[in-house]
Amino acid sequence: MKHRLSRRSIYLGDRWVDTTGMPWQPWQDIYHLSMTVSWTRFIGTIALLFVTINLLFAMIFGLGQAPIANLSPPGFAGRFFFSVETLATVGYGDMHPQTLFGHLVATVEIFSGVISTALTTGLIFARFSRPRARILFARHPVVTRMDGHRSLVIRAANARQNVIVDASARLRLILREVTPEGETLRRIYDLPLVREQHPIFLLGWTMIHRIDPGTPMEGLDAAHLAERHASLILTISGVDETTGQTMQARETYNHEAIRWGHRYVDLFVPSDGGDVELMDYTRFHDVQVSPE
């Protein structure tokens, strides 16, 4: 069986990549498409299908000899509105089938309406119930000294400010390399964090990777990372205490986003003698030169 080949543009965090040659089979993955398109396209597609189906049944009703009693307004418009009422199983009562042909078409349409309503309801519920993490990632990773070690630091915050239990973080470095055989590929290196788990991720989390001897970033600087088209991928997952669902968020940084010799601006604002501390998230992305 021949399939039409698709062409897609995929964003890898530091660049766009066009792909082609993959068979395009949207009818075999409708659920995934329904879950990944935007709400505007999702609702618009449902509305378009609703109007199209009713137009189709309005034309089918027109094939019979006066199949609808009390048709109002007369003609195609009346048949369309009757189709809308039938598909939605509303049944106002003024217009109703009055011939065998009309009853048969109405039966098929009601069955189609029940199926389409069930499918649409299920998809809308699935989209609403799908867990979404609202984790805020700093725009720029920084390389600074912390606790006497040269470190790569990235901070994140829980924008919902609810409790994410047993949160875990994984940081990875992707480098373009050339093998001894001359083959170019992208290698993935795990960057261990000082603390990869957070028992109660509520406000903020500063993740630290120490650039010690033997680690993947040893001896690398901005020029080396640019030459090797480096990028960082940070993944955070955990269980939302409110819903009990697993949450996951991911952020990708290209090498140009890293700020060398900088540190993050402190979010805590000193209180004026009170017991309440202020955490100012308007400074969440701010960095400053680090004294080394």
* pLDDT(4) > 60: no
* pLDDT(233) > 80: yes
More confident residue, 25 or 161: 161
Query: What pLDDT shows up at residue 143?
Result: 95
Strands 16-23 and 5-11: antiparallel
Query: What pLDDT shows up at residue 31?
Result: 80
49 Cβ contact partners less than 8 Å away, ≥ 6 residues apart: 116
Rounded (10°) angle between helices 76-87 and 39-61? 120
**Which pTM value belongs to this model?**
0.72
Question: Quick one: pLDDT band at residue 5, thresholds 50, 70, 90?
Answer: low
Q: Which CATH class for the 135-289 domain?
A: mainly beta
Question: Quick one: pLDDT band at residue 267, thresholds 50, 70, 90?
Answer: confident
Give the distance from CA 172 to its chain's centroid.
Answer: 20
* pLDDT(245) > 70: yes
High-pLDDT (> 90) share of the chain, %: 55
Amino acid identity of 256? E
Query: What pLDDT shows up at residue 194?
Result: 94
CA distance 141 to 201: 19
More confident residue, 152 or 132: 152
List every span in the chain annotated with CATH 2.60.40.1400: 135-289
DSSP collapsed to 3 states, the chain: CCCCEEEEEEECCCCEEEEEEEECCHHHCHHHHHHHCCHHHHHHHHHHHHHHHHHHHHHHHCCCCCCEECCCCCCHHHHHHHHHHHHCCCCCCCCEECCHHHHHHHHHHHHHHHHHHHHHHHHHHHHHHCCCCCEEECCCCEEEEECCEEEEEEEEEECCCCCEEEEEEEEEEEEEEECCCCCEEEEEEEECCCCCEEEEECCEEEEEEECCCCCCCCCCCHHHHHHCCCEEEEEEEEEECCCCCEEEEEEEEEHHHCEECEEECCCEECCCCCCCCEECHHHCCCEEECCC
Number of residues in the chain: 292
Question: pLDDT (tens digit, 9 = 90+) per residue, 32-66?
Answer: 788 888 889 999 999 999 999 999 999 999 999 99
Query: What pLDDT shows up at residue 274?
Result: 60
Give 5-129's CATH code, choosing from 3.40.630.10, 2.40.50.140, 3.40.50.150, 1.10.287.70: 1.10.287.70
List every span in the chain annotated with CATH 1.10.287.70: 5-129
Query: What pLDDT shows up at residue 138?
Result: 95
Q: What is the pLDDT of the chain when averaged over all its residues?
A: 87
* pLDDT(178) > 50: yes
CA distance 225 to 223: 5
Query: What pLDDT shows up at residue 195?
Result: 93
Strand partners, 157: 136, 204
Q: Mean pLDDT throughout 255-261?
A: 94
Amino acid identity of 240? D
* pLDDT(92) > 90: no
Query: What pLDDT shows up at residue 162?
Result: 87
CA distance 195 to 169: 8
Dihedral (CA of 133, 136, 139, 145) sign: negative
* pLDDT(88) > 90: no
Residue 33 · residue 26 · CB < 8 Å: yes
- How far does the chain reach from its first CA to its final CA, in angstroms? 64
Query: What pLDDT shows up at residue 2?
Result: 47
* pLDDT(147) > 60: yes
Query: What pLDDT shows up at residue 243?
Result: 82
